[in-house]
Chain A
Amino acid sequence: MRQAPEPVHVIKERRDKALAALVEGVPYIRTLGVSFDRRGDELTAVLNYDEKLIGNPMLPALHGGATASFLEVCAIMELSFHLLWDEVESGRLDADSLTPDTLPRLPKTIDFTVDYLRSGLPRDAYARARVNRSGRRYASVHVEAWQDNRERLFAQATGHFLMPERP
């Protein structure tokens, strides 16, 4: 006898709750106005346009610092969400009772290099991160950001991260 698969809404709710707990724990994500779209375990970060993200108002263009922050937020969330995904999907953590104290510790940035390819336009931006290597202690992550066209990146970044101690 095979066990009946979990109802789809139960799975979705668990995963969305896990993501929301992570995102809501970080004040700077709200300050920037970043949200996340989830498809299975794939995340797309969205930088919701706001006038405060502008650098040079004469152009106008997104501030390089806003772009760098957006890419770093995206990279850290990608790493953290995958740590949390394993804990929640295996049942070791309950998605209903996640607090900043029960969530896995966040990775720490060692270095982060941003490549500004073209100026950021005053509209929403999107980013996806790819974990190129994730060992027990160190991870290397690449992030790509675009606006209108997925093939026309306006910025990309590579960063190294110190992973939290795992039990």
Chain B
Amino acid sequence: MRTTSQTTASGKGAIARQFIEALPFSKALQMRLDEFGDGLAVISMPYDTRLVGDPRTNVIHGGAVSALMDTCGGAAVMGHPDAVLPTATIDLRIDYMRPATPGDRITARAHCYHVTRSVAFVRAEAFDADDTRPVAAATGAFTVTRNEVAP
């Protein structure tokens, strides 16, 4: 699962797409990698009645949105030029601003905005069909394995 510094961006993208879409839990939630690269990732998942958290409103469970944010945050880290797949979450905070509209696809956009020797910092937002008002926002820290250049 190691990549080298010679790996092209598109090559890494193909590996990452395959890797992310093959994660069993991401697959169970039908997540799709829409955009990837340079510390950015966009991942979306369809509305599904199996994800409902409140039977009175049919709004999906916050935990499902967390799962999407976590996956998207990890993908943003993998997409950073200095990082090597894969990564693990150290911590993730999610703020829920409003309920996602039942029936809408949920899309998360994550940005890995800073990487140190061992930690990657990520900000993310999630939207439903209305892309002007976020459903949720997240900040997270992820582990980094450095893309070491051979001496």
Contact A68 B25 (CB under 8 A): no
A93 proximal to B (CB < 8 A): no
A11 proximal to B (CB < 8 A): no
Contact B23 A54 (CB under 8 A): yes
Contact A27 B25 (CB under 8 A): no
Contact of B62 among A64, A70, A109 (CB under 8 A): A109
A4 proximal to B (CB < 8 A): no
Contact of B25 among A28, A66, A73, A113 (CB under 8 A): A66
A112 proximal to B (CB < 8 A): yes
Interface residue tally on A, bucketed by range: 35 or more
A35 proximal to B (CB < 8 A): no
Q: Which of chain B's residues have a CB closer than 8 A to the CB of A26?
A: 52-55, 61
**CA gap between A166 and B70 in the complex, in Å:** 34
A105 proximal to B (CB < 8 A): yes
Task: Tell me the smallest distance from the CB of A57 to a CB of chain B, in Å.
Answer: 7
Chain A interface, DSSP helix/strand/loop, else mixed: mixed
Contact A115 B91 (CB under 8 A): yes
Flag B64-107 by CB within 8 Å of A: 1 or 0 each. Answer: 10111111001000000000001011111111100100000000
Task: Jot down 21 A-B pairs with beta carbons below 8 A, ordered by A.
Answer: A30-B50, A32-B63, A52-B24, A55-B24, A56-B88, A63-B67, A63-B70, A64-B74, A64-B88, A65-B26, A65-B69, A68-B63, A69-B61, A70-B63, A101-B56, A106-B53, A108-B99, A109-B96, A112-B66, A112-B94, A114-B91
Binding site for B on A (CB under 8 A): 25-28, 30-32, 51-58, 61-66, 68-73, 76, 100-101, 105-106, 108-116, 119
